[in-house]
Chain A
Amino acid sequence: GAGVSQSPSNKVTEKGKDVELRCDPISGHTALYWYRQSLGQGLEFLIYFQGNSAPDKSGLPSDRFSAERTGGSVSTLTIQRTQQEDSAVYLCASSLVVSGGFTDTQYFGPGTRLTVL
């Protein structure tokens, strides 16, 4: 079946511009996660959504970062007024959530490479 997809695969933007990154999770997966991978900081958790519950935003680095998940499926990560330190690969993952049990494995998309000039 289809895996997690992300678009665009590459994004180059100028400092101060807003960007939107999109994630399509695996069909039927109720949990969706965003991570960031950069040379200086490694792999960092940003935010996750699970069903209709309030998202866990504890990893968002500043209020310039926000994310939404529409219809329990597609998610968009928005970065406002981009800065050079936002340059990184943004990875999306999805998983099943087993009722009364543990979450299933997180499966990752190919990522979006963001470069802020």
Chain B
Amino acid sequence: AQKITQTQPGMFVQEKEAVTLDCTYDTSDPSYGLFWYKQPSSGEMIFLIYQGSYDQQNATEGRYSLNFQKARKSANLVISASQLGDSAMYFCAMRRNTGTASKLTFGTGTRLQVTL
């Protein structure tokens, strides 16, 4: 079974500062993928970034980067230069990487509030 743990129910960050959202995971699968999604108050889940378990380098997408530490089973999201529009719920998720479709297992989320 797969499990995702997000221990920060809420975080505050000042505009233009960087923030790290924590995510740890547990799985016995040798190959897996880790995702971060953003959910603003409108409700839609927006894909941010992906990291494969065999990827040698940490994933980056614009202001988002994923700090992947495989031995520690952590996949923290780093948002640089925070903007007011970054205020939202953030979910960490994982799936088995196989040759077929595979469900996502989500954490409980972290609510990020960006302040002036």
The 12 sampled A-B contact pairs (Cβ below 8 Å) are A42-B108, A42-B109, A43-B106, A48-B101, A56-B101, A59-B103, A91-B45, A101-B99, A103-B95, A105-B47, A110-B42, A110-B44
Size of the A side of the interface (Cβ < 8 Å), in residues, is 30
Interface positions of A (Cβ within 8 A of B): 31, 33, 35, 42-43, 45, 48-50, 53, 56, 59, 89, 91, 93, 95, 97, 99-103, 105-111, 113
> Per DSSP, are chain A's interface residues mostly helix, strand or loop, or mixed?
strand
Interface positions of B (Cβ within 8 A of A): 33, 35, 37, 42-47, 50, 52, 91, 93, 95, 97-109
A107 and B47 alpha carbons, distance in the complex (Å): 7
A106 and B93 alpha carbons, distance in the complex (Å): 11
Apart from the given pairs A56-B101, A102-B33, A113-B43, 14 other A-B contacts in the complex at a CB distance below 8 Å: A33-B104, A35-B104, A43-B104, A45-B104, A50-B101, A56-B103, A89-B43, A95-B101, A100-B99, A102-B99, A103-B97, A106-B47, A110-B43, A110-B44
